A = this chain, B = another copy of it.
Amino acid sequence: MAEETNDLFDSSDSVRSGKPLAYAKTAVFPGPITLTTGGVLPEVTVVYETYGELSPQKDNAVLIFHALSGDSHVAAHNEEDDPGWWDVLVGPGKYVDTNRYFVICANVLGGCRGTTGPDSVNPETGKEYGMHFPPINVADIVDVQRMLVESLGIERLLAIIGGSLGGLMALDWGVRYPDSVSGIAAIATGARMTMQALAFDVVARNAIMSDPHFYGGEYYDKEEGPSTGLAIARMLGHITYLSQESMNKKFNADRNVGRKIDTSFETKFSVGSYLAYQGGKFVERFDANSYLALTLALDAFDLGPDRERLISAMRRSMCRWLFISFSSDWLFPSFQARELVDAAIAADKRVSYCAVKSDCGHDAFLLDSESDMYGSLTDSFLHHLSLDWQHDNPERRDQINADYGKPTLQAKDRVDFDTILSLIPPKTKILDLGCGKGELLLRLKERGHDRVMGVEFEQRRVLECVENGLDVIMSDLNEGLKSFSDHQFDFVVLSKTLQRINNVEIVIDEMLRIGTRAIVSFPNLGYKKYRAQLAEGYAPQTDPRPDKKWYNTKDVRYLTIADFEEFCHERNYRIFRKVALNSETRQVITHRENEEADVVVVVFGS
């Protein structure tokens, strides 16, 4: 589905046209194999490729699921080899480093690139399955991959990575084979197809099935198959892979200039020529019956049709989760990833989420230009999965770290951090709102808290948290914290962030719903220096950076210790601890706090 370049006719998805896969291996599983739909297959052949070496501990296997039209060739095996569809991500020294990981990628059941599908010959009849290929579910696709992984002697995968429709398969594995995978990176995907995406699939299938050369699926021995319908289906697909922005970038300069290409489709506009070309190329390498079988399986998939059942599904998972979405993706919009993230949080799972800012639409997950975020997130996620697996094996951990060779963040010293740490009892569960790159969380982890989590709005900071092995959710505090369950954490911390929040009341209400105790720290406007500034006729400058003045500071809320106490009093919040600090002298203030302290840390509850 990728569009690597601006060239009208280039698409990494169309690199190959049914060429043989030189490095592909084949596994045959004898049947009969009964599917979840009730259908039976006499045997199943799986075509797959592997990269790198399985470690003696068998703790470095990564399974990648391809999307609708992909195949086993996720990456080139060497410089002479054909390009792979995710060369950006997978290879020696790349984000999924095949020098470190053993990568497996197989063509899916129902596909048309070697693994058993409608165009395979049924050994019982000696003819292609065609319309006799049984209906399949995502679960059947996953089960076949599971058979393959087991046949390779792997009991537990380090990770599964799935983008787009491959993400649905990864989700299915995560909840049905929870003990056989340490972590799942689900990219540009959702718990189900949106109604809009489902509707597009319906139209695509109608185009195929109403093609007069479809012959009810029995076209293999005919002179012509449903290539017009399949091409139209593919054109539709291509529109959904792009965004308004990326389409403009690609086609606006010569909008009304058609291309002379050999096609019976309309080529009046540049975008029309592109669609005609892509549609035409697709039919050379893809089988219409596979398109029907796979889209029907995917359209029927639903990890949980409502929040409750989605949480219930996620509860069964045992892995760490990484969800990545892209802001301009409208095939799998960010709200879908967020649904999954919310369910994982509610199910008390370890989960990170980044909504990557991108103009590239759904295709973003395959593009080099966007890999700085999605690639780095995946890289760090895999690394920390490796460390987690070996948590009781310091030697192996050291070796993993040495092989990785990237530095990790040192926990930082900040005047209110010591105080906050001193107020938090050991082994408690902590949520840090506006966690930045995770400095406080790191210090908590070092101290032995193992359920710590952050919420952060800046994408770069979210990546830094993941690099530090922390669980972090990219989210705007002003939009609420409804993902979290009542009293899911012991402490919810808002350190030096209260003054930057518009919806103070909502955030504080939420903190007390989610946590048993809330901890806030904020600059005290009552500090004598600030009083003096106003007495001299100027607005107090609470932002410590000298270039941050009234017009450009991110601080939008101004309050004194007395204001906060009044606020708590009015709402019947009980203040349990209050530590006033002077950050200039680094001393705790116990007298005349509202004048002598410039920062205060308050522990309160309802």
- Residues of chain B within 8 A (CB-CB) of A196 are 239, 242, 244, 247
Which of A44-52, A371-379, A486-494, A527-535 lines the interface with chain B?
A527-535
Task: Tell whether A212 is near chain B: CB-to-CB under 8 Å.
Answer: yes
Task: Tell whether A144 is near chain B: CB-to-CB under 8 Å.
Answer: no
A202 touches which one: B212, B266, B535, B550 (CB < 8 A)?
B266
Q: Is the CB of A255 within 8 A of B195?
A: yes
Q: Is the CB of B563 within 8 A of A505?
A: no
Task: Tell whether A228 is near chain B: CB-to-CB under 8 Å.
Answer: yes
Q: Is the CB of B275 within 8 A of A203?
A: yes
- Residues of chain B within 8 A (CB-CB) of A232 are 203, 206-207, 210, 232
- Residues of chain B within 8 A (CB-CB) of A505 are 551-552
Task: Tell whether A560 is near chain B: CB-to-CB under 8 Å.
Answer: yes
Task: Tell whether A358 is near chain B: CB-to-CB under 8 Å.
Answer: no
With A206-B235, A228-B210, A551-B567 in contact, do A272 and B199 touch (Cβ < 8 Å)? Answer: yes
* CB proximity of A564 to chain B, nearest CB, Å: 9
In the complex, what distance in Å separates the CA atom of A266 from the CA atom of B562? 67
Q: Mark A297-322, 1 if CB is under 8 A from B, else 0.
A: 00110000100000000000000000
- Residues of chain B within 8 A (CB-CB) of A266 are 202, 205-206, 209
- Residues of chain B within 8 A (CB-CB) of A236 are 203, 236
* CB proximity of A493 to chain B, nearest CB, Å: 18
Q: Is the CB of B537 within 8 A of A526?
A: yes
* CB proximity of A273 to chain B, nearest CB, Å: 9
* CB proximity of A585 to chain B, nearest CB, Å: 20
* CB proximity of A97 to chain B, nearest CB, Å: 37
Q: Is the CB of A255 within 8 A of B210?
A: no
In the complex, what distance in Å separates the CA atom of A2 from the CA atom of B566? 53
With A244-B195, A299-B269, A552-B504 in contact, do A275 and B534 touch (Cβ < 8 Å)? Answer: no
* CB proximity of A462 to chain B, nearest CB, Å: 22
Task: Tell whether A604 is near chain B: CB-to-CB under 8 Å.
Answer: no
- Residues of chain B within 8 A (CB-CB) of A526 are 534, 537-538
Please report which residues of chain A, range 555-595, place their CB below 8 angstroms from some CB of chain B when the two chains form the complex.
Answer: 556-563, 566-567, 594-595
Q: Is the CB of A244 within 8 A of B305?
A: no
Task: Tell whether A271 is near chain B: CB-to-CB under 8 Å.
Answer: yes
Closest to A240 in B: B196
* CB proximity of A505 to chain B, nearest CB, Å: 6
With A505-B551, A531-B535 in contact, do A272 and B560 touch (Cβ < 8 Å)? Answer: no
A534 touches which one: B212, B299, B525, B556 (CB < 8 A)?
B525
- Residues of chain B within 8 A (CB-CB) of A252 are 195
Q: Is the CB of B534 within 8 A of A300?
A: no
Copy number in the complex reads: 2
Task: Tell whether A248 is near chain B: CB-to-CB under 8 Å.
Answer: yes
Closest to A249 in B: B195
Task: Tell whether A502 is near chain B: CB-to-CB under 8 Å.
Answer: yes
Task: Tell whether A333 is near chain B: CB-to-CB under 8 Å.
Answer: yes
The size of the chain A interface, using a CB distance under 8 A, is 72
Q: Is the CB of B504 within 8 A of A537?
A: no
Task: Tell whether A265 is near chain B: CB-to-CB under 8 Å.
Answer: yes
Interface centre among A199, A203, A236, A566 (most CB of B within 10 A): A203
Task: Tell whether A423 is near chain B: CB-to-CB under 8 Å.
Answer: no
Q: Mark A223-256, 1 if CB is under 8 A from B, else 0.
A: 0000010001001100100101001101110011
Task: Tell whether A57 is near chain B: CB-to-CB under 8 Å.
Answer: no
Q: Is the CB of B275 within 8 A of A202?
A: yes
Q: Is the CB of B534 within 8 A of A563?
A: no
Please report which residues of chain A, range 517-544, place their CB below 8 angstroms from some CB of chain B when the two chains form the complex.
Answer: 525-526, 530-531, 534-535, 537-540
* CB proximity of A522 to chain B, nearest CB, Å: 11
In the complex, what distance in Å separates the CA atom of A209 from the CA atom of B550? 63
Closest to A235 in B: B203
* CB proximity of A596 to chain B, nearest CB, Å: 12
Task: Tell whether A198 is near chain B: CB-to-CB under 8 Å.
Answer: yes
Task: Tell whether A417 is near chain B: CB-to-CB under 8 Å.
Answer: no
- Residues of chain B within 8 A (CB-CB) of A268 are 202, 296
Task: Tell whether A200 is near chain B: CB-to-CB under 8 Å.
Answer: yes
Closest to A555 in B: B556
Q: Is the CB of B502 within 8 A of A239?
A: no
Closest to A542 in B: B558
Task: Tell whether A194 is near chain B: CB-to-CB under 8 Å.
Answer: yes
Known contacts A195-B255, A206-B275, A526-B538, then 14 further A-B pairs from the complex at CB < 8 Å, ordered by chain A residue: A195-B252, A195-B271, A199-B271, A202-B271, A209-B265, A209-B266, A210-B228, A505-B551, A525-B534, A531-B534, A537-B594, A538-B566, A550-B559, A556-B557
Interface residues of A, Cβ cutoff 8 Å to B: 194-196, 198-200, 202-203, 205-207, 209-210, 212, 228, 232, 235-236, 239, 242, 244, 247-248, 250-252, 255-256, 264-266, 268-269, 271-272, 275-276, 296, 299-300, 305, 330, 333, 502, 504-505, 525-526, 530-531, 534-535, 537-540, 549-552, 556-563, 566-567, 594-595
